[in-house]
Amino acid sequence: MKTGPAIADILKKEGVEYLFAYPVNHLIEACAAVDIRPIIVRQERIGLHMADAMSRLTKGRKMGVFCMQSGPGSENAYGGVAQAFGESVPLLVIPQGYPRRIAHVPPNFNSTLAMAHVAKHAEPITNGREIVNIMRRAFNMLRNGRGSPVIIELPNDAYAEDAPDPLDYEPVVVTKYGPEAGQVAEAAKVLMAAKRPVIYAGQGVHWAEAYAELKELAELLAIPVCTSLEGKSCFDETHPLALGSGGRAYPKAVRQFLDQSDVILGIGCSFTETNFGISMPKGKTIIHATLDPAHINKDVPAKYGLVGDAKLTLTALIAACKAAGATKRDAGPVAAEIKAVADEWLKEWMPKLTNNEAPLNPYRVLWDLQHTVDMANTIITHDAGSPRDQLSPFWKNTAPHTYIGWGKTTQLGYGLGLAMGAKLACPDKLCINVWGDAAIGFTGMDFETAVRERIPIMSVLLNNFSMAIELHIMKVSTEKYRSTDISGDYAAMARAFGGYGERVTKPEDIIPAIKRGIEQTKKGVPVLLEFITSKEVTISVPK
């Protein structure tokens, strides 16, 4: 057996079903030969975004894998690897490399070196007979600990080298670890004694599938729950104890309850300081429960640290609280307080959410979308900029991982690939990406990938023909040179690619268009709904 087919065989044994790719990488043929379906994209970054969603939605059981050409293909892919690194998502990246004799000779792009600082591990295949050891290391790091990309560079001249035959490879063991019992007991006492505790839940709850445990702890001690943008949908946002999610924009209850808290339990989060996440108030007692010990005290000072899997940690906290005498508390008073704050905030926003003017207000489009789709059977993701800030505070998820949140790095156009990868991972779900006219300019050509690869997503475009959020910082360049103007008939583009495209300009047409789009996806047709909107720049940032 040769090295390339050996890699394909190992991927098959590890449960990989799709290879996201752009030629030339000889691994594409080897994977197709063993019934791993290649998904060929129009640009490398989209393939990585699709692999990213595959890993997220399957919790890494069907690992996202991407391969590409040496040189320009690997250079173009860098942004997608960096995005996954910023979002702590495990995915396997297999760049083709230059022949080993010139791999380190400038100006040849060496993926092992160049991508090492946006990866958990980066290694070239130096010898075909080492392929079992190399791939075992890769999958061990992908499936254990905090998520991050792993780079295995396949030099062009190593592909046809001899590999061990027979190939002695077994799928890697998956391990979990939990916090020390004494530290758990101490943290439990602090939580039980708190007057105004808040739980801040991150995407570690998704990866651990700790949904039931999070709900049980919140209900046991009547603790309000807010989530990071990445953690959004790990807690039912219609639950009486739900505050919503914190991104650059957020519901009023998130800010108010965090600011008025005395104890904050961060579970499955990094507390990373970012412009696109809710800031933590100072002077609070922080219990930081996270998988990666390097995150404790990284950006937010923590009084108590619990290192381990979110499910094991929450299970231990619940047991410790009960052992210390905790019984289920009456959540009525705090739930009533949450409702009062939320109702007041929502009342302030209803004029925009139900706006009946044209051009359409983007908030009205997203409000109607939320009240038309089957929320529990829908997976949605935002894009960078206004779509993120207009969608995330108001979209109330009811089921786990029905929202793909992101934002520690904010590359335009990320949402399209996430929606396509989500549809492949969850074919029975309606998968939606919401983007603006700036984002579609970056990755819009890959709507053709959705058509060609038969991936029936629904793409919701908010088109205001402008870089609206840049208007206030680009006044002179806009007035003199129209530098913030952008345009296009994107519904026509979708139809030209063979998908379903519809442009909507009237408020009364929003819901009928959404319903028509949903029906088209059920027929297997990718949909792009283009809503012509106003230059709305107001976002929810309550004090």
Nearest to 215 by CA among 200, 230, 198, 236: 236
Residue 332: C-alpha distances to residues 219, 256, 262, 329, 336 (Å): 11, 18, 20, 9, 6
Going along the chain from its start, the domains and CATH numbers come out as 3-155 (3.40.50.970), 181-338 (3.40.50.1220), 355-532 (3.40.50.970)
Q: What is the pLDDT of residue 543?
A: 85
Q: What is the pLDDT of residue 469?
A: 84
Q: How remote is the C-alpha of 180 from its chain's centroid? A: 30
Per-residue pLDDT tens digits for 468-483: 888 888 999 989 999 9
Q: What is the pLDDT of residue 159?
A: 92
* H/E stretch holding 340: helix 332-353
Q: In sequence order, what are the beta bridge partners of 503?
A: 530
Please tell me the distance from the alpha carbon of residue 380 to that of residue 391, in angstroms, as a whole number: 10
Per-residue pLDDT tens digits for 480-498: 999 999 989 999 999 999 9
Inter-residue contact 464 to 535 (CB < 8 Å):
yes
CB atoms within 10 A of CB 223: 23
Q: What is the pLDDT of residue 252?
A: 98
The pTM of this model reads 0.96
Kindly list the averaged pLDDT for each block of 10 residues, start to end, along the chain of length 543. 97 98 97 98 98 98 98 97 97 97 97 98 97 98 97 96 95 97 98 98 98 98 98 98 97 98 98 94 98 97 98 98 97 98 98 98 98 98 96 98 94 97 98 97 97 98 91 91 92 98 98 98 98 96 92
